[in-house]
Chains A and B, each alone.
Chain A
Amino acid sequence: MQPAGELTHIPLATGVFLHLHRVPLYKTVRIDICIGEQLRQGRNSRLALISRLLERGTRSLPDLQSLNRFIDELYGAHYYAVVDKLGEYQFIRLCLELIDEKYLANSDKGIFSRGLLFLREILLAPAGDGRQFKPDYLSQEKHFLSRQILDSFNDKTEYAQQRCIEEMCRGESIALSAFGDPGDFAAVDAGQLLDFHRGLLESNRIDVFVSGDFDPEYMQATFEGFINWERHEPDSVVQPRIKPFLGPAREIFEFQELQQAQMVLGYRTSILYGMEDYPALVLLNLVLGGDGQSRLFKHLREEEGLCYYAASHVEALSGLLFVVAAIESATYHRAKTIVERQIESLRRGYIENFEIESARSLLQARLLGIAEDREVFFRFQLREGLVGGGQSPEKLWRSVEQVGIDDLVRVANHLKADTAYLLHGGVGAKIAI
Chain B
Amino acid sequence: MNKTVDPRIGEEVYHDRIGDGFDLWAVPRSLSRQKAAVLCVDFGSVDVQLSALSTGQTMDLPPGTAHFIEHRLFEKNDGDISDRFNALGGDVNASTSFTATVFSLTCVDNFLANLDLLFELVLDFEISTVGVDREREVIARELYSGSDDPEWMGFMHGLRGLYGEVPMALDMAGTAETIAAIDIDILRAAYGAFYRPQHMALFLCGDFNYREIADSVEGNLRKYPCGETVWERTPRPFTFPALQTSVGLQLPINRPYSLFFFAEDRAVRTGRELLQRELAFELALDIAFGPASDFFAEHYGEGLNVGDDFGAEVYAEPSFFFCALGGYTEHGKRLAEVVEATLSRIEGQVEGDFRRAKHKAYGQLVRSCEQVEEIADLLCSAVGNGAEPWDYFDVYEDIAVEHVQQALQRCLSVGPMASVHIHPKGLVG
Contacts of B88 in A (CB 8 A): 361
**Distance between B172 CB and nearest chain A CB, rounded to angstroms:** 14
> B109: CB under 8 A from chain A?
yes
- Let me know if A292 and B300 touch, CB within 8 A: no
B273-309 Cβ-contact flags toward A at 8 Å (1 or 0): 0000000000000000011111011001110010110
Looking at A60-68, A120-128, A170-178, the stretch in contact with chain B turns out to be A60-68
Contacts of A428 in B (CB 8 A): none
> B148: CB under 8 A from chain A?
yes
In the assembly, what is the distance between CA of A260 and CA of B365, in Å? Answer: 38
B86-106 Cβ-contact flags toward A at 8 Å (1 or 0): 111111100000000000001
> A186: CB under 8 A from chain B?
no
Query: Of all chain A residues, which has the CB nearest B252?
Result: A257
> B1: CB under 8 A from chain A?
no
In the assembly, what is the distance between CA of A365 and CA of B90, in Å? Answer: 7
A326-355 Cβ-contact flags toward B at 8 Å (1 or 0): 111000000000000000000000000010
- Let me know if A1 and B33 touch, CB within 8 A: yes
Q: A257-B252, A260-B144 are in contact. Are A362 and B89 (CB under 8 A)?
A: yes
Q: A78-B363, A156-B148 are in contact. Are A144 and B301 (CB under 8 A)?
A: yes
**Distance between B176 CB and nearest chain A CB, rounded to angstroms:** 11
> B17: CB under 8 A from chain A?
no
Contacts of A245 in B (CB 8 A): none
What is the size, in residues, of chain B's interface with A at 8 Å between Cβ atoms? 76
Task: Compute the total of residue contacts between A and B using a CB distance below 8 Å.
Answer: 196
Contacts of B91 in A (CB 8 A): 292, 362, 365-366
Contacts of B293 in A (CB 8 A): 65
Which residue of B31, B108, B142, B302 contacts A25 across the interface (Cβ within 8 Å)?
A: B31
Query: Of all chain B residues, which has the CB nearest A63?
Result: B297
**Distance between B120 CB and nearest chain A CB, rounded to angstroms:** 16
- Let me know if B370 and A73 touch, CB within 8 A: no
> A308: CB under 8 A from chain B?
yes
Which residue of B82, B207, B429 contacts A292 across the interface (Cβ within 8 Å)?
A: B82
Contacts of A298 in B (CB 8 A): 80
B326-338 Cβ-contact flags toward A at 8 Å (1 or 0): 0010000000000
Contacts of A156 in B (CB 8 A): 148
> B147: CB under 8 A from chain A?
yes
Looking at A43-51, A145-153, A272-280, the stretch in contact with chain B turns out to be A145-153
- Let me know if B89 and A305 touch, CB within 8 A: no
List residues of B whose CB falls within 8 A of some A CB.
Answer: 8-10, 29-34, 80, 82-83, 85-92, 106-109, 134, 137-139, 141-142, 144-145, 147-151, 207, 252-255, 290-294, 296-297, 300-302, 305, 307-308, 328, 356-357, 359-367, 369-372, 425-429
Q: Enumerate the 7 nearest inter-chain pairs by beta-carbon distance, A residue then B residue, closest first.
A: A76-B363, A140-B301, A365-B89, A305-B137, A68-B292, A308-B141, A361-B89
